[in-house]
Homo-oligomer: A and B are copies of this chain.
Amino acid sequence: MEFKSTLFGSAYYDEYMPYDRIDTDFQMMKDAGFNVIRIAESTWSTWEPSDNQYDFTHLHRMLDKATEYGISVIIGTPTYAIPPWLYKKYPDIMAVTAEGPLLYGHRQLHDITNPHFLFHAERIIRKLMDEVKDYDCVIGYQLDNETRAADAASSETQKLFVAELRKTYPDINEFNREFGLDYWSNKIDSWEDFPDIRGTINGSLSAAYKRFLRNRITEYLTWQASIIREYKRNDQFITHNFDYSWIGHSFGIQPLVNQFDAAKCMDIAGVDIYHPCKDELTGATIAFGGAVGRALKKDNYLVLETEAQGRTDWLAYKGQLRLNAYSHLASGALSVMYWHWHSIHNSFETYWKGILSHDLKANATYNELSAFRHEMLSIEDRIRGLKKESQVAIIVDNQSLVGIDEFPISDSSELDYNHILRWFYDACYEMNIECDLVSVEDTFDNYQMLIVPALYSASIGTLNKIKDYISNGGHALIGFKSGFSDEEIKVYADTEPYIISDAIGAHYDQYTNPKDVHITIDNKQYEVTEWMELLYNDDAKVIASYDHKYYKDYAAITCKDYGKGSATYIGCYFSKEGLKSVISSVTKKAGIDIPKIDYPIVKKTGINQYGRRINYYFNYSSDELSFVYDGRDGISLLDNSDIRSKDTVKLNDWDLIIIEENEE
């Protein structure tokens, strides 16, 4: 997709407003440089207050005003929150989980496979499309919202699961064998005996059910897209706001959705990125979130939601909102849209604050966003739709994530898949190595370096693909717990890591949770925590061994040249600082130049529509900082001044500089 201008705006709910102020709102948006709003997604009960009765008053009010004020509109299907009458009429619409049938109230607790739900969802989508499709201001459609399958496991839903299993495993004995069901007498002789999945203790079966639910989301979004395609104009796009795993804020990849699959039905990927600000603001989550956005369609992406004021403890320091907005653009975002226009006066997200506070007046947040927008519009021509080119890819994988959830590192550890992923990602981020994310189904031959964090579940095909990547000249950095089990989380009954161990030149058959164990890398000592594999070095170079009386004969990190490439294997967990040393050595092998600048100065770079390189340098700190400019001579876009290579550049706290390099 391409847009004439970077989209800038927010979700807007006329229907939530405590009094009529639609003109005030639109005028304030206009003043602040908004060119888009996102509407309609969560208010099914407003559009269809009772069964088959419709009222689109608020919808047309908003679309008419958007037209009048020249603001574009993204229409969301309203299906993520069902109206009370629908629940009353079909109580079985609510998901049945291990805790029993869920109660109505919260959004997204219905079962998206339920036929009653699907019937009514289709009807309201079609009604809505009839109402909106002819408005010029409507530029695109958002399917549902951060779709969930609600852990649905009613007997009806489970029947679909069994049907899917039967298709994959026509031979029930093969099924029993692959899932190891003879253990604790869980074996079935007939599909009719398949027991309630909610009680299972079989990690493979549990993981398969989670995958089944992820597939239902893909199917559901694809179905919504197909309906919308019957109505939409060619100039309108279909998107969805994908989100992330959540630890009080966006963090890693979303475990509950196969976003690579789900995005196939869309024209452009959208993401919702939330993160702390104030002293906790690092920009890493913005960068990681953007990498996910770029990965899904291998293209630029929309930021459909990010926080304005957000949660109480996130309220940004002066300058941070501006910094974040540029940071999204520097990652390749085609939009920066806020959740949401105004703070809500009731209900649930009352303290998930919008741009306007509850008093609905201009405030510091509104003023800073407005100032940012007007500033960026003056240089937008040079910076919009930045094309990114990364030399490093990181493999991300839902099934491996689930595998490590089923079989955690240790009882006490919080080191789950996403923390391992972010350990690698954040180390690169702080070294100013911009990374792409890839799935195991993607091609990654074009990257000089491939990072493989905890690829716990990997098919034989995937493992051979990685091995081929290396032998064909790629440089792989492979993390512990990779290549340990197959697609169904069945551990390989062979040398570990499976298949790739001879590329690595090391293997292991034992591991433990370390205590008082250290490793030394580049003459610095780091404590090994959480996990250590006792590596036998076969024919690799040992980068680090364990400093410990009983483990000193085992390797901790190895490196081997294999074919035309190399494989570096990390068998344990330690500090991010130590990891950076290892990454640095791999980049050298891969011939990748790392900027000499590092965090809290963050560099992002890309190519603008004129083929020129744009270099962003962000100061992610409360202190004034300097750095030596490492690009070619160019122009600082915001003040239109000349910058020469090697110039020392000063950045105020939470400030940035954007440099367009001169043509070669």
Contact = CB atoms under 8 A, between A and B. Distances in A.
A312 B346 contact: no
Given A279-B515, A358-B492, A365-B510, 4 more contacts: A16-B180, A109-B199, A181-B347, A359-B509
> What secondary structure prevails in chain A residues at the interface with B?
loop
A122 interface: no
Given A187-B49, A515-B279, A346 B196 contact: no
A84 B194 contact: yes
Contacts of A88: 192-193, 195
Give the copy number.
3
A314 B407 CA distance: 16
A182 B348 CA distance: 12
Interface residues of A, number: 105
A299 interface: no
Interface string A343-379: 1111111110000011111011100000000000000
Interface in A97-130: 98, 102-107, 109
A474 interface: no
Contact of A179 (B103, B346, B512): B346
Interface in A50-83: 50, 53, 78, 81-83
A92 to B, nearest CB: 14
Contact of A348 (B184, B193, B345, B411): B184
Nearest to A279: B515
Contacts of A46: 182, 185, 187
Given A183-B348, A359-B509, A550-B317, A200 B105 contact: yes
19 contacts: A18-B177, A18-B493, A43-B185, A46-B182, A83-B185, A84-B193, A84-B195, A85-B193, A103-B198, A105-B196, A107-B184, A202-B346, A312-B511, A315-B510, A315-B511, A317-B550, A318-B550, A357-B509, A358-B493
B193 A344 contact: no
A45 B46 CA distance: 53
A203 interface: yes
Interface of A: 13, 15-16, 18-19, 42-46, 49-50, 53, 78, 81-85, 87-88, 98, 102-107, 109, 177, 179-190, 192-196, 198-204, 248, 278-279, 309, 312-315, 317-318, 343-351, 357-361, 363-365, 407, 409-411, 485, 488-496, 509-513, 515-516, 549-550, 622
B515 A278 contact: yes
B411 A103 contact: no
Contacts of A98: 103
A364 B536 CA distance: 12
A85 B78 CA distance: 43
Contacts of A184: 42, 81, 106-107, 347-348
